[in-house]
Amino acid sequence: DTEVTQTPKHLVMGMTNKKSLKCEQHMGHRAMYWYKQKAKKPPELMFVYSYEKLSINESVPSRFSPECPNSSLLNLHLHALQPEDSALYLCASSQGAATGPKNIQYFGAGTRLSVL
Amino acid sequence: KQEVTQIPAALSVPEGENLVLNCSFTDSAIYNLQWFRQDPGKGLTSLLLIQSSQREQTSGRLNASLDKSSGRSTLYIAASQPGDSATYLCAVDNFNKFYFGSGTKLNVKP
């Protein structure tokens, strides 16, 4: 099973709302990632969790707050977003940097977020 | 910062043709390079991973090569089919930080 599950598939929120995106994997992977992808652009790395600890934050605004409650789950909490934050948010997982060159990433189908 | 470039940005070919997609990167200190496929509005599907010590990987009709010293990789697709139509992205792993190219949008015409 190489599945990464993301919920919800679609989300519409106002600029004052608080919402959360969820990502789950059961492959025993110890690294999990959040990416943001705008239309016709490549995915851009936002956060990396390694062994449930935040290891990389690519200077993401504080209105995006990641959380890794356990090794299988990754959340992205959203608050006071702007319309320009509308994008496809992708979650990925991998065995982790300790595997070195064999560190294959597996992606979920994404959450399509629209901020009104 | 690592920069990844893919050429061409778009490609349209008749069914049955063999084709080559190109990926170049500026920092050769990478763990690996991974090729992905993305269908419109969907997530990414991993196609091939080439470790930094490898030169080539094959899976079915796909063959990927890596020349780390020159910062280049190619994805060769043999006997293309309409079902191969998608955007193909390469990504390099700079020690657990992944950088993607902008992709090549492939259209295979029946």
**Nearest chain A CA: its distance from B37 CA (Å):** 11
Q: What is the mean pLDDT of residues A3-14?
A: 95
The predicted pLDDT at position B97 comes to 83
SS3 A36: strand
Distance between B68 CA and the closest CA of chain A, angstroms = 13
User: What angle is formed at CA B19 by the lines to CA B16 and CA B22, rounded to 5 degrees?
Assistant: 160
Nearest by CB: A103 against B32, B53, B100: B32
CB contact under 8 A, B31 and A106: no
CB-based contact, A102 to chain B, within 8 Å: yes
Q: CA of B16 to nearest chain A CA: how many angstroms apart?
A: 27
**Inter-chain CB proximity B41 and A103 less than 8 Å:** no
pLDDT in the model for residue A1: 62
Greater model confidence, A93 or B94:
A93
Average pLDDT over residues A34-58: 92
pLDDT score of B95: 79
Contacts across the A-B interface (CB distance below 8 Å)? 67
Could you give the CA distance from residue B90 to residue A47 in angstroms, rounded to a whole number? 19
Contacts of residue A89, defined as CB under 8 A and 6 or more positions apart, other chains included, come to: A6, A21, A34, A35, A36, A37, A76, A110, A111, A113
Per-residue model confidence (pLDDT) at position B40: 87
User: Does the pLDDT value for residue A2 go beyond 70?
Assistant: no
φ/ψ of B84, rounded to 5, equals -80, -10
pLDDT mean values, one per 10 residues, chain B (110 residues)? 93 96 94 93 91 93 95 97 97 88 96
Average pLDDT, chain A: 92
**Is the pLDDT reported for residue A102 higher than 80?**
no
Q: Kindly list the residues of chain B whose beta carbon comes within 8 Å of any beta carbon in chain A.
A: 4, 31-32, 34, 36, 41-46, 49, 51-53, 89, 91, 93, 95-103
The Cα–Cα gap between A88 and A72 comes to 21
SS3 B101: coil
C-beta of residue A5 within 8 angstroms of C-beta of residue A107: no
The pLDDT of residue A88? 95
pLDDT beyond 90 at A57: no
Q: Is residue A47 over pLDDT 90?
A: yes
CA A107/CA B34 separation, integer angstroms: 12
